[in-house]
Amino acid sequence: MTTPISPYPLLDSLAAPQQVKHFTPSQLEDLALEVRAFLIASVSETGGHFSSNLGTVELTVALFHHFDFLKDRIIWDVGHQAYPHKILTGRMKRFPTLRQHHGLSGFLKRDESPYDHFGAGHASTSISAALGMAKARDLQNQDHTCIAVIGDGSMTAGMAFEALNQAGYLQTKNFLVILNDNDMSINPNVGSLQGYLNQIMSGQYYHRWRDRIEHAIKAIPLESVSKGVAKAARWSEDSFKRLMVPGLLFEDLGFRYLGPVNGHDVNATSKALLEAREKMKDGPVLLHVQTKKGYGYEPAVQDPLKWHGVTAFDAEAGEIIKVVVDPLKPAAPSYTTVFGKTLVELAKTDDKIVGITAAMLDGTGMNLFQKAFPERCFDVGIAEQHAVTFAAGLAAQGMRPVAAIYSTFLQRGFDQVAHDVCIQDLPVTFGLDRAGIVGADGPTHHGLYDLAFLRCLPNIILMAPKDENELRRMIMTAVYCGHPAAIRYPRGNGLGVVMEEPLTALPIGKGELLREGSDLLLCALGSMVDPALKLADKLQAEGLSCAVLNARFVKPLDAPLLLEWAARCRGVVTLEEGCDPGGFSGAVAEALADARLLRPLLRCAVPDHLVSHGDPKLLLEDEGLSPHLLEIRIREFAKAL
């Protein structure tokens, strides 16, 4: 029987990534072709982050040709571009499990591989982490290189420049920052930095002449000439730098700038890395690499946003496989779409409403607002801290800013929410998309902590809708409440309920009793309200009478309604899709304790541990929040009363 020929002979031959160091230039090119072909074939089956990973294939191959990443340290910012890194580090056979329950993570994960030196999921952390590793190396008298690979989108965050500032000041040796410049983040990049990167495209001309000038200056016996001549020589070099490359931001920050280099020419990139290794002996280096998002797969090149994060697709046809929808049962609108359309509706009659997002126009539904009111919509880039304080400044001058930010990303702006918004009691509305368990992106992207970290802040109003109609009402409530307000809502589609017209606000701090009962009070929030109603129906058939309360507001909590029905029942059950410590269940427990109303309490929330990645239904099962596990838990709780 003939053994089938592998389409990936070089990849299959790799017993360890260190073998890439010995590849010839032509083998490096072939290896890059194999990595890209495998990436396309594999992700077409599993889905995942796609176009950004296609853009870093040659760069990754070149890096493994020059460095040993068991010894050396490489930090991939965000992790959207680290699939080639995973493929070369012994995880190729696990790619069919990518982002699946108990499968390969879609991001870097320290406990997944010794080659993953730092976990990533949020942007703009790589330079800080790599610099910390470099200084730890120096303090421990170790000898290895530390590398941060960061995209131009992540460079819009202030944190990246804070790290560059310190690295340049410390003049850290054997420290390399690779700027992966592909002209965009998830949405088209914004800000003046993009224009700056375009300016330094002429950098190669500067480097050619700079080296000649440096050589000439060093040839002058400065000890034998006046200080004035030496000063003039240094002034001439600085002036020439600014003439040839306007700004030279990175060199002014203390980095030796190299590039730009074509990041899809593996041998050119390899040569640039070789030069960087030499330059790093004297201090930190920034290598500017130009890549194209989606490179090597034409559909992704033509529409890199569409192909940024994909479900399974037909690789040959270049078409994403669509879920078949029953035409007789049209899908309900997503919460994200309802948010965007409602904001547009309100803004049509109120020119003080302003939209803000942090590089997530499409992901938050703010793209709908941008199309309708481009002059009132601001994408600030990956800069959540700035987004929050920018909103505070708008609110301080009488505007009604609405900042749409994923729940997990608002964590980055916590101090700004506390100090700039809540302490000053400014009317900023936060739309927290992707609240709760979101699935395949795992621990860095689950929106589990917003209730806990926002509930403790003064002046804020905190809400969660039971369905898309209630979301509409909460948006109106938040925009016109006159205080800081946050609305958390899940990823995915609503329940398909009727949208009430005209749109009306909710009374602040008022919950809603959906069902009366005498045995248990099911006190539910947001996405858990509908499951609570269905559970009450099942338990009623078994003779267990359950009242169901839609809390609506976590802060201020409707304590009078809660206490009234808690007093009528033998026990209280809280249901939420958030972390247990400090969350909604804590608010209920505090209200019961403050009223000295002693009732057994079952808290159904995410326990105090990390939630992995995978299908949300399976993750809810893991956390004891699936419908059938909730039924078992509540039934056992009731028996013990």
- Residues serving a catalytic function are 293, 384, 412
Angle, alpha carbons 158-129-20 (nearest 5°): 120
Enter the DSSP assignment of 383: -
SS (H, E, C) 86-123: HHHHHHHHHHHHCCCCCCCCCCCCCCCCCCCCCCCCCC
> How does strand 256-262 pair with strand 285-290?
parallel
Residue corresponding to tokens 């029905």:
565
Query: CA 538 to CA 546: how far, in whole Å?
Result: 10
3-state helix, strand, coil in the chain (%, to 5): 45, 15, 35
CA dihedral for 627, 633, 637, 640, sign (positive or negative)? positive
- In the block, residue with structure tokens 């490179």: 295
227: burial class by Cβ within 10 Å (0-12, 13-18, 19+)? exposed
Looking at residue 177, the DSSP 8-state letter turns out to be E
Rounded to whole angstroms, the Cα distance separating 6 from 425 reads: 64
Which candidate, 32, 30, 36, 29, places its Cα nearest to that of 301?
Answer: 36
Query: Is 413 within 8 Å of 388 (Cβ atoms)?
Result: yes
Angstrom distance (rounded) from CA 389 to CA 442: 28
As a whole number of Å, the CA-based R_g of the chain is 28
Nearest in space to 554 (alpha carbons), one of 570, 534, 574, 536: 574
Q: From CA 403, how far away is CA 400, in angstroms rounded? A: 10
Residue 572 sits at φ, ψ, to 5 deg, of -125, 135
Beta strands in 501-545 (DSSP E): 512-515, 520-524
Amino acid letter for position 330: P
Q: How far apart, in Å, are the Cα atoms of 332 and each of 341, 345, 366, 498, 503?
A: 14, 19, 19, 10, 19
